[in-house]
Structure 1
């Protein structure tokens, strides 16, 4: 069997399993039982080209049923298993530890492709990929071998980072205390995308000295409860709800101190480019749906004198403008990935600042086009596009919610402060 046929058979098998699987369970506010560990090792992606090929094939399967999952609140259980077993969750693992170590431009393209099909599924990957980077930056060699090994086997990392009631996004009240060969963690988390369906839930906690740690707890650890109480009007099936952490014991070998933001690393832009890629994907999915609706269902306006909506000059021009802005955002997304790659090869103040600022520029454009494309959909497609049977409002809802992850209004300030005053942007996960 040739390599190309082998790749296709892997993805085809995953898609066939997905299509034949028992249908998904509905969201519930009740505590959700941990998902089974992978029954077989995940495929290990070999290179950038294979990663993009697999993403395109999975996107075809994920697009089918995306609207129904959003409308009914069905969790993408089988889709997520196919996704992580495809090997795409391990493509940024360093080559020294058995991974493909793809370019971050490739990583962004993979996420964009998946998000265009189903942005909720793409977002569930978001924190996992950021955590793989933190392991590379902050973990010991022994921890890297263990944790990267789990990723390549198909284990999914969720997250227990943000806290709903703290004074700001970086003020963590969850506490970690040493007890012999273990630590004990207590706290309450929210916005925990991926935790519900994860195999391991990394918890951000601080000790008495204010030092920040990642505590990699098993999803079924006693005292760790994940509740699917996410009620946002967008990104509805990301299950970004609550994690309760009550006297959770974890071996010290699974505790990683976060130092990446105190050093010259690309940790911040890596976290941001994943979000930017999701927004670019939402815009692409919305534009594709707009075009399909105009071609098949929309009517031309009476003043146009045209027989088809596709002949309306104002519709044509507006579609052209949206496509232009989307292409600009996609180009800047790729450029940001290249700048991150450069910062990883040669980490210093200059390369990290360039990666951070270029990714910020990308985030501004992808945010703007995601909101514009999902809003213009209805203006161009017409009143009938708002009917519940089409569920096209999911694109706008998803764009509006996902683009709120950090205030994009701060991006032009940091860009301008660097260009005008030579002030480097801050280093944290939201910059």
Structure 2
């Protein structure tokens, strides 16, 4: 059999050309190399995320003259997918920060958003602060702000206490943002709370996948908020503005799963090459020369490529929605992006777990060791997908075709 150990398929790469052009390839490749070790040892990726911050991942979308890379949305998602292919925990941990930057770029003159952008330009990331809600159903908007921050006269600052459940990424963030009623004027305000005393760094996340994202409960106990970091609310959206404000979040999660699919395809090559012997009833002496396994590898590659193409279509739609902001085309473009995100999710959430299962089929008993942690791909896919179950998306897509029903305007769309 010819020596194929030095060859790699021309269309299968861990790191995209754009990430390589930014000098991110060495860091991403090292993250990929050590992903299994972190998974098995449950080592939180503090150092890896700190390095990515220093390399500018959190400021990619900022203009070059303000410390960023001037990346387009498509380029941002390309880097995020590379990170997800390397380690989906790390890509997922950046989601809330990258959304805050995205929101800030819409109104950079507002002092709250200017603060967020300034933090991003310094290589810092922001997460979500404590939040009390009267909403009963998951994702439903709250009818009023219940969280409070109290003025401390002696400290000449505010203090706030509370919890944030599903606080993905908070373990690694430098500051936290939220809405609260402040005690002096009983007004609803936005604020930026810096990491420090009163911010609990405990990891209590017990999910069977995405174990290193810190997606448990963030606790704040009399955390200090300087008066200068209290800001007015955002202005009321203009009349006719599109009401779907959470599409970025959903596209980001599906994009992470697409990254996992790419990693499965890459791992599939290594798995097949590493197998030492074939079954006696096979057609070839070595598994890499076995026609049925070669075909199976081809199927994995094709499905992974199809998943990436599907989310690329949605990212292009989201870019159009972004470009249309404030114009007469905004409503239709944002609606199209929301529906496209739902379509991509339905397809990706269905196909990606199959890929993870096929990877085990390709390796048979030689890849079931816990030390190899190949089962993490299925677990990570299912946990990411569970944020926003596809069954509800399928129903909405069907109803939209039949009756023209529009997506809900709360979270998840």
C-alpha separation in 2, matches of 1:57 and 1:254: 39
Which region of structure 1 is more displaced relative to structure 2, 255-264 or 273-282? 255-264
Number of the residue aligned with 2:342: 360
Q: Distance in 2 between matches of 1:97 and 1:217?
A: 23
Name the counterpart of 1:170: 139
- Residue matched to 1:304: 282
1:115 equivalenced with 2:84 (yes/no)? yes
Report if aligned partners of 2:265, 2:304 keep a CA contact under 8 Å in 1: no
User: TM-score w.r.t. structure 1 length?
Assistant: 0.78
The alignment yields a C-alpha RMSD, in angstroms, of: 3.2
CA–CA distance in structure 2, aligned partners of residues 368 and 52 of structure 1: 33
Unaligned runs of 5+ in 1: 1-47
Determine if the alignment matches structure 1 residue 264 to structure 2 residue 264.
no
Structure of greater Rg: 2
**Which residue of the partner structure matches residue 398 of structure 2?**
416
Whole-angstrom distance in 2 between the partners of 1:328 and 1:190: 34
How many pairs align? 382
Cα separation, 2, equivalents of 1:177 and 1:302:
70
Contact persistence 1:266–1:340 (CA under 8 A): no
Shifted more, 111-120 versus 56-65: the winner is 56-65
1:253 deviation in Å?
4.1
1:158 positional shift: 2.3
3-state SS in 1 of match to 2:242? coil
The separation in 1 between residues aligned to 2:92 and 2:209, in whole angstroms, is 12
Stretches of structure 2 lacking an aligned partner (at least 5 in a row): 1-16
The CA distance in 1 between the partners of 2:181 and 2:387, in whole Å, is: 22
Distance 1:64 1:179, change over 3 A: same
- Which residue number corresponds to residue 331 of structure 1? 309
2:195 aligned to which of 211, 219, 222: 219
* In 2: Cα distance, 1:167 partner to 1:207 partner: 24
Which of 57, 71, 74 is residue 105 of structure 1 equivalent to?
A: 74
Shift of 1:426: 2.2
Q: Secondary structure in 1 aligned to 2:201?
A: strand
Aligned to 2:177: 202
What is the distance in 2 between the residues matched to 1:401 and 1:164?
24
Moved more, 395-404 or 156-165: 156-165
More helix by share: 1
Instruction: Tell me which residue corresponds to 1:88.
Output: 57
Cα 1:326–1:187 change in 2 (3 A) is same
Quickly say closer, same or farther: Cα 1:260–1:325, change in 2 above 3 A.
Answer: farther
Shift of 1:123: 1.0
- Tell me the alpha carbon deviations over residues 46-77 of structure 1, each in whole angstroms, 9 at most, x when there is no partner: xx946764343321111121111111111112
Residue from 207, 222, 239 that aligns with 2:214: 239
